[in-house]
Amino acid sequence: MSSPSKDQGGNPLKFDPELRGLLDKLDLAQTFKAFKRWKSSFLTRFETLLDSDGIDISDAAYKEYSAAMERHVNRLAKVEQFVTEGSLTNEKVSVKGRNALNELCKDLDRIIKATEQLIPSTGADEKKCGFTKYQLGAVLVRDGFSEYERMKDVNDVVTVFRDEKLCDVADKQQLELFTAYGTQLQRFCDVMADLGLYEVMLKCREFAEEPEEEEPDPIIFIDMKTASVFEKERADAIEEGLVATDGNEMRFKGATKDASELESIVKKVKDHPNLGVATQIVVTKMVNDLDEVGLEEEAAVKNLWGVSLKKRSKNEAGQELLFVDPKTGDCGELSRQKALKAGCLTETTNEFNKVSVEQAEEGIEAREAIICKIRSVLGIKSADD
């Protein structure tokens, strides 16, 4: 897709189809890794629409603001210490405590003004600052909105000071400053919402720290045509479009709606001669056509599975792509052709013209582990049980 001119007016977060599409998919990023990929794609596109010089200038301004916030938080901690020690309370005020409160409020006034000036709101402001609010927005996303977290923390503390701890100690002007800071924080949030970045900000804070290890949340997929099974993390499967939510992020379109549909799915899986769900014996040879199977093999398959191989062309093989959700117990049928077209499923053919899919789990133990999960969710007993 060609990039719009960087000089084009308006909000690129609203006029650029690619950015709008990414923002529409933000809710699909439900894990740290998924959001990290989303954020990378978002920034790559967003920054191509913005002048890099302005981004650099806004980055320097933001770092200066961050340093000021760091100093302010240190002053706030000092006042909190006096409050905790009892030397700055509604009943008792020490000289050091009073001085610390006065210094805090002077600095709070500076921080309120700095927060207001951080985001240019008019064309004149942009010329003066050397950057636009969109360029600053890109910097904030790249940073992960870390200062928003400190802004909230500061507001929480000064609100308690105003309403409880120092309501009889602070003078009128100081109390008004505590309120003004909350107003400025709300303005910051309103500007982010107007830009289209408020939800991005919240998502950045949700995944601010990489977890030591995210708990696996796989969805199992069964390709009936090739008797393949594989797993994909829920968030990745949704993000890639392999499955789509059905009004509830934990339920997918295509899920069975009643007992008869569930029974149909179970029967397909259980009766498949090559899938291996109804037995614990690992099948190492796929039977694709009766013409390729000798009479002894045909009899063996019939004896093992309780089904007979029928004469049929390869094109008549089952085309179902099924999913099984171990977390919810749901299962259902997906469009295999749609998955192929979207690149979520990739067919390959070997030298013997055997069709398989790249996504298939090839490891014997790993495949058997997936099969065991399918049995557990669908309530299928193996032949050895």
Tens-digit pLDDT profile for residues 322-347: 999 998 899 999 999 999 998 999 99
Predicted confidence at residue 248, as pLDDT, reads 65
The one-character DSSP state at 292 is G
Predicted confidence at residue 305, as pLDDT, reads 44
Token look-up 């309103």 returns: 190
pLDDT band of 306, cuts 50, 70, 90: very low
The one-character DSSP state at 283 is P
Radius of gyration of the chain (CA): 30
pLDDT band of 382, cuts 50, 70, 90: low
> Is pLDDT at 368 greater than 60 in this prediction?
yes
Q: What is the percent of the chain with per-residue pLDDT over 90, rounded to a whole number? A: 65
The mean pLDDT value of the chain amounts to 86
**Which range has the worst mean pLDDT, 5-9, 131-135, 249-253?**
5-9
Share in percent of the chain as helix, strand, coil (round to 5): 55, 10, 35
Residues 40-55: tens digit of each pLDDT: 999 999 999 999 999 9
Decide: helix, strand or coil at residue 247. strand
Average pLDDT over residues 250-273: 89
SS3 letters for 7-26?
CCCCCHHHHCHHHHHHHHCH
> Is pLDDT at 161 greater than 80 in this prediction?
yes
- Whether the CB-CB separation of 242 and 60 falls below 8 Å is answered with no
More reliable by pLDDT, 133 or 384: 133
**What b-and-e string marks burial along 130-168, b requiring 16 or more CB atoms within 10 Å of the CB?**
ebbbbbbbbbbbbebbebbeebeebbebbeebbeebbee
Predicted confidence at residue 286, as pLDDT, reads 39
From residue 295, alpha-carbon distances to 282, 301, 308 in Å are 21, 10, 12
Q: Rounded to an integer, what distance in angstroms lies between the CA atom of residue 62 and that of residue 68?
A: 10
> Is pLDDT at 314 greater than 80 in this prediction?
no
> Is pLDDT at 124 greater than 90 in this prediction?
yes
Decide: helix, strand or coil at residue 35. helix
Q: Rounded to an integer, what distance in angstroms lies between the CA atom of residue 229 and that of residue 220?
A: 7
- Whether the CB-CB separation of 323 and 254 falls below 8 Å is answered with yes
Q: How close are the terminal C-alpha atoms of the chain, in Å? A: 56
**What is the phi/psi pair of residue 57, to 5°?**
-65, -45
pLDDT band of 249, cuts 50, 70, 90: low
Q: What is the percent of the chain with per-residue pLDDT over 70, rounded to a whole number? A: 85
Q: Rounded to an integer, what distance in angstroms lies between the CA atom of residue 163 and that of residue 152?
A: 16
From residue 27, alpha-carbon distances to 200, 202, 219 in Å are 9, 11, 18
Average pLDDT over residues 245-250: 71
> Is pLDDT at 381 greater than 90 in this prediction?
no
- Whether the CB-CB separation of 279 and 382 falls below 8 Å is answered with yes
The one-character DSSP state at 152 is H
Closest CA to 152 of 84, 81, 80, 205: 205
Predicted confidence at residue 28, as pLDDT, reads 81
- Whether the CB-CB separation of 19 and 42 falls below 8 Å is answered with yes
Predicted confidence at residue 213, as pLDDT, reads 78
The one-character DSSP state at 50 is S
Token look-up 């977290």 returns: 149
pLDDT band of 281, cuts 50, 70, 90: very low
> Is pLDDT at 158 greater than 90 in this prediction?
yes
Tokens of 329: 């117990």
> Is pLDDT at 7 greater than 70 in this prediction?
no
**Which range has the worst mean pLDDT, 191-205, 244-258, 262-276?**
244-258
> Is pLDDT at 88 greater than 50 in this prediction?
yes
- Length of the chain in residues, anyone? 385
Predicted confidence at residue 279, as pLDDT, reads 61
Token look-up 């029974």 returns: 263
